[in-house]
A and B are shown apart, each in its own frame.
Chain A
Amino acid sequence: MKKWLIAILMVVMVFSAFAVKITIWTSEAQAPILTKLADEFKSIYGIEVEVVQVNFGDIKSKFLTAAPAGEGADIIVGAHDWVGELAANGLLEPIPFLPEKEQYLPTPLEAFTYNGKLYGIPYAFDGPALVYNKDYVEEPPKTFDELIELAKQIQDEYEGEVRGLVYDFKNFYFSSFAIFGYGGYVFGEKDGKINVKDIGLANEGAIKGLSLIKRLVDEGILESGDNYNVMDGLFKDGQAAMIINGPWAVPGWREAGIDFGVAPIPDLEPGVHPKPFFGAQGFMVNAKSPNKLYAIEFLTKFIATKDIMYRIYLADPRVPSRKDLLPMVDDVTRAFAEFLGNYGLPMPNVPEMAGVWGAMGDAISKALDQGIPVEQALKEAVDTILAGIK
């Protein structure tokens, strides 16, 4: 008889263990500051906020597994390009109102908007700009012709020991600036809605853009072995004069003792501005969470205020998405913010983006490594993307 009593007692205990608590999944950069803020929130609202550190790469996949079953975090901190897939699966709650909306830069807000609704509160955004080592470059180039000339000059001067320009050019993310600058686009838009059947990655602009990258290879400025690690290693060793990279790498350069400056990526031609991809980071709310109103309250009333956003910036120095914080940040961050805020293009957040990365990476590799004509390589990429979408 006793064992049944114990068994029943156990069941009761497990059921009563539920209590109201907001759970946040976040990666290691923001976890410490959010834990501190959670304590402050609790002292005001009496609602407990639990901050769980999850690897950035795992947050989305874990959320996709847990949320449909009504589990998982109430808030996730992640990238804006998750929005499409998560919202298409019905897992994200739209943010009903955002206080002081006019204080946000328009591009990060646009990044978190899907089908006309705001699905996240951006706190930071990042993307590539031109980073130069001041030992080799006094004045950053204004156009690509100047850049090519300068890169060659540096390579000649140091007899190949120092690279003029190096970056991860086979990665569509880093090479997108040229393709979009000339008028290429990923998905067309119709009546404010993304049309995934209209792909502008093989149009005249895209061809011109990829040809510009090809010119860098043909002129011996970029090498076929270049990738992100090579770029990062060379720049930190002082063996690269100019790179194209984002603000996430700033602490590494500082640690390596490099005297660097940040400038806009040069104009492709006089008057033709480059348009790089950028990503925004923000807070998203689980639509199937029973605590979603608590979560929205936590975000809109507490997190999305100027002083809290500034404290998040201090703890995790990325480019803040609030305009009113820009006067308070350092020069490097501001340089990134001004370039990306003016010319940046948020990566499309629709789920159909999944097939674009691989196909465009293949196209760049076909055109630049294997000598396939640029037009053909891009056309094949567009066909591949379309075949995947069906």
Chain B
Amino acid sequence: MAKLVEIRDLKVEATTDSGRRVEIIKGVSIDIAEGEIVALIGESGSGKTTIALTLLGYARPGCRIAGGRVSLAGRDMVTLSEKQRAKVRGTEVAYVPQSAAAAFNPAATIMDQVIEVTRIHGLMTPEEARSRAVDLFRALSLPEPETIGSRYPHQVSGGQLQRLSAAMALIGNPKLVIFDEPTTALDVTTQIEVLRAFKSVMKQGGIGGVYVSHDLAVVAQIADRIVVLKGGEIQEAGTTDDILTSAKHPYTRELLAAFEPKPRQAFQAATAPAPLLKIDGLVAGYGQIQADGLPLVRAVENVSLKVEKGRNLGIIGESGCGKSTLARAIAGILPAAAGNIVFDGVKLDQSARQRSREQLREMQIVFQYADTALNPAKSVEDILARPLTFYHGMGAKARNARIDQLLDMVRLPRNLRHRQPGELSGGQKQRVNFARALAADPKLILCDEITSALDTVVAAAVIELLKELQRELGLSYVFISHDLSVVEAICDEIVVMYGGKKVEEITPAKVKAPQHPYSQLLFSSVPRLDPTWLDGLEQDPELVRAYCRR
């Protein structure tokens, strides 16, 4: 097969705000044959998007292609002038961004935006472009391909929008399409449909692709070859089968290992398990209170659950199922409209304002985005010191010693305490976020998607840390996630939520055989590290229609 792309010894430099130059891509060479899909995989900061963007001849502000060659169909994108590059973009090489929702203009119809490329490059008449777009919509198995183009971006779902952005990329008949984490923001049940559509359209057209992702299982379904990156260097490259079955590089193995959660030994309480948290008929929501005393939009409806001392409860469901609202209602951030919350034998008030300081201390909540959960203007030391002063009234000396202890507990170096959150990596921030909850000496920690913003390897490390701390401190967790493997790894019991209601409660041992149809659908949609998984997957179309908002 002829070579479509030849990247040779590519170097990209970034200039920091003190004027220092940092090499972020350190001599990378990649070949892509015509019609081949190559996946770039690695953690955030590994340079995978930066490399993908150089194929468009583009470097982000502050960055510069410092050396090497990126030839695409015989043209070197590095040396082309900006005008020549603009000609190539959209016709030879196209880009599908991570967040289609942010990439579409909300004020124009989808059709106008999809055929814009043909207008800019003068490829075909608008009529031709429209009929070609409809063909593409059909190929991408979008519903109502004839009329979907006349809608506005907010009138279609996230999965559909992501496929529409692929249509936008494909309309100029490119030889190479760059997918930049296109399914990362989607629910697993939606992801399947999008992946299928991408795969079939790429194979049919014989289009070459670069698929950027941090999710090895997703990549395994679509890519012919995988390139593993870390720190701007290629760690390992090979065919998908080779990488999955006989990975040589330790980092690749680490990535693979992160996929196989170590089974959790159930924590055996010495005494009979006593319920720590008991929730009965909880209703919470938003909007005006109606005549029946309940809010207009009920995000959580009549949920009851129980957490026992030293044991963990997982809550799983896709976005919008009310799992985060449930956590907020338990913590009292969003006062529940009805229902009882009994914590450690005492009935808690529904609003956090009415709860005593001691009650607040014993139940801590850790949020998903450590970026917004840590005050960017404060040092790690100040962030951890506040709960110590506030709850325990510690003096400066005791506080200092305790901060060191806490940093040790979450495996952070002690000298990190003077840094501000902006100077930490994602995993480090999440650890500080967690250490702040530990500082209160809680009995129960509500973890709201705490690993979702982290890379696979980092997330696995955080999960291990949680398990260890539980053994040492006898904590209980309520673990909220959309990621089944994470919940499986840490929880004794799993609650599946759908549309604000609890649909099933199961134990990890029985995950293989869920009873409720939605649980079955959800669990079967989690990608496996098996390249044939997607093609072999069969889901009841009836079920899919009932539960998926694709």
Q: Do A and B come from one complex?
A: no
Residues of A within 8 A of B (CB): none
- B residues whose Cβ falls under 8 Å from a Cβ of A: none
